Chain A
Amino acid sequence: MKQKFKRSIDSLDLVFQFTERFFSREKVSASAQFPVNFSIEELFTNMVKYNQDNPNEILLKVKRKKDRIEVSLTDFEAQPFDVTSAAPADTTSPLAERKPGGLGLHLIRKMVDTLDYHYENGYSKITFTKLLGQGNV
């Protein structure tokens, strides 16, 4: 399944309606839905935040492949930002030293099984996969 979404945080409701239709169709367990939704939101909101003046919509594709779900988000006419080489997040500092932000990519890496980035001619594409457990058809 694929769909384009307006570059706005307000699109998140529509994004989750889209993933819900996919999960229902493919009978994806709740244990896989959460990390997939989480990762899509993080990557989508990053694209919204860091390319705010870009008029293009963001393309989201989700696919079931045997034992995994494959998801890609593509931004068009975008500046490159390789999510796979982002700096490590601060997860150990005490409360007073912790700053908001910077955790999204770290958490994605913890929850998905592969994360890839490809940039070419203004196409910025992030792909991740989530392996499915025994609870899924």
Chain B
Amino acid sequence: MFEIDFGNQSQIIFSGRLDAAQAEKAQAFLDAIPEPRVADFAKLEYLSSAGLGVLLKTQKRLMGTGGGLKLINVSKHIYDIFRYSGFDQIFEIEAAGE
């Protein structure tokens, strides 16, 4: 199950599993974000390369507005994916527990 919504501080809350079947849902939500935001990954259990594609497309668009997504509470496994893919160089990331 995957959910994406706004938190009470206007951050984007990702929950559950962002796999290829959920990528379109995530992209549709993120496409409506007009400006840089914090994305809270505390409840995100799983992210596949389809999810990386969604995040990359969003980041490219938002950087044109003067800033991108800041990812917080990123779990070890998902942080590893960002490191292996070089996405830790194109996103501001805070690991869970920082």
Q: Report which A residues bind B (CB closer than 8 A).
A: 9-10, 12-13, 16, 31, 34-35, 37-38, 41-42, 45, 89-96, 98, 100-101, 103-104, 106-107, 110-111
Contact = CB atoms under 8 A, between A and B. Distances in A.
Interface in B30-66: 46, 48-50, 52-53, 56-57, 59-60, 63
A57 to B, nearest CB: 17
Contacts of A42: 48-49
Given A9-B21, A16-B17, A100 B48 contact: no
**Sorted from nearest, which 4 A-B pairs have the closest CB atoms?**
A91-B86, A100-B53, A104-B49, A34-B77
Main secondary structure of the interface of A (DSSP, over half): helix
Main secondary structure of the interface of B (DSSP, over half): helix
Contact of A98 (B56, B81, B84): B56
B94 interface: no
Contact of A95 (B20, B50, B53, B59): B59
A35 B57 CA distance: 24
A45 B63 contact: no
A70 B52 CA distance: 26
A92 B90 CA distance: 10
B77 A100 contact: no
A10 B17 CA distance: 14
A12 B84 contact: no
18 contacts: A16-B17, A16-B19, A34-B46, A37-B46, A38-B46, A38-B48, A89-B85, A92-B86, A95-B90, A96-B60, A98-B56, A100-B52, A100-B53, A100-B56, A100-B57, A103-B52, A107-B49, A111-B80
